[in-house]
Amino acid sequence: ETGVTQSPTHLIKTRGQQVTLRCSSQSGHNTVSWYQQALGQGPQFIFQYYREEENGRGNFPPRFSGLQFPNYSSELNVNALELDDSALYLCASSLDYYNEQFFGPGTRLTVL
Amino acid sequence: QQQVKQSPQSLIVQKGGISIINCAYENTAFDYFPWYQQFPGKGPALLIAIRPDVSEKKEGRFTISFNKSAKQFSLHIMDSQPGDSATYFCAASRNTGKLIFGQGTTLQVKP
């Protein structure tokens, strides 16, 4: 059984650019949650997708947006990148929205 | 009310000792309390989780103690090993949805 995978592993962007991060959920899981983890901090919830619909959002501005596809993989898009967006972006999948969340390895985003 | 406060920030334990990490929450609607272990450059891995209907849960060397009235829960790692050296995060949520994480505890187990 394949776990949660994320791509790319690392990414370097400049301020003002846009970025798309991708996540493949664990087999059989229909829920994907995205988190931002700044260096030395705990992960912070961005939003959750359940069966292709947004199912909750954290305290992040609208320039953070997402999608979930029919195969339950997901994308996180960030527009107008700011220096403070530099972080590890984590994707977690769960069997259903009320089940345990299993995290992928993350994408390290650096904004210069 | 959404915060989860974790302590200590860092911890050094001798091999074979007991590591104890504490967390406190405010929101009484929380009903799911997991602990995650994270190694450098990796995503968090679910270690053990508890719901408020029990006061203790044990899985191998890892035990969660839960005090509902005090709104506190803790992770105990028995017989700590150098391979346990990692950052540990407590979290809380309602219905296992949006996880609210603590700030993390960096554990170093000395051989």
Averages of pLDDT over each 10 residues, chain A, 112 residues: 89 98 95 96 96 94 97 97 98 89 96 98
Give chain B as a 3 state SS string: CCCEEEECCEEEEECCCCEEEEEEECCCCCCEEEEEEECCCCCCEEEEEECCCCCEEEECCEEEEEECCCCEEEEEECCCCHHHCEEEEEEEECCCCCCEECCCEEEEEEC
Average pLDDT score over chain B: 95
Whether the Cβ atoms of residue A96 and residue A110 lie closer than 8 Å to each other: no
For the cut 90, the answer to whether the pLDDT of residue B23 exceeds it is yes
**pLDDT at A98 (0 to 100):** 81
Provide the residue count of chain B. Answer: 111
Whether the Cβ atoms of residue B11 and residue B107 lie closer than 8 Å to each other: yes
Query: How many Cα atoms are found within 13 Å in the side-chain-facing hemisphere of A52?
Result: 3
Whether the Cβ atoms of residue B110 and residue B14 lie closer than 8 Å to each other: yes
Q: Give the closest-approach CA distance of B67 to chain A in angstroms.
A: 21
**pLDDT at A1 (0 to 100):** 57
Cβ separation of B89 and A42 shorter than 8 Å? yes
For the cut 90, the answer to whether the pLDDT of residue B96 exceeds it is no
d(CA B99, CA A35): 9
**Which pLDDT band holds residue B38 (cuts at 50, 70, 90)?**
very high
Beta bridge mates, A57: A47
Cβ separation of B98 and A103 shorter than 8 Å? no
Using a 10 angstrom Cβ sphere, with 0-12 exposed, 13-18 middle and 19 or more buried, the burial of residue B91 is buried
The verdict on B95 touching A (C-beta cutoff 8 Å) is yes
d(CA B106, CA B10): 5
Three-state SS for A69?
Answer: coil
Q: Give the closest-approach CA distance of A11 to chain B in angstroms.
A: 14
Tens digits of per-residue pLDDT, B43-81? 999 999 999 999 999 999 999 999 999 999 999 999 999
Q: Which residues 54-73 of B are in CB contact (within 8 Å) with A?
A: none
Cβ separation of B42 and A105 shorter than 8 Å? yes
Whether the Cβ atoms of residue B24 and residue B4 lie closer than 8 Å to each other: yes
Give the CA radius of gyration of chain A: 13
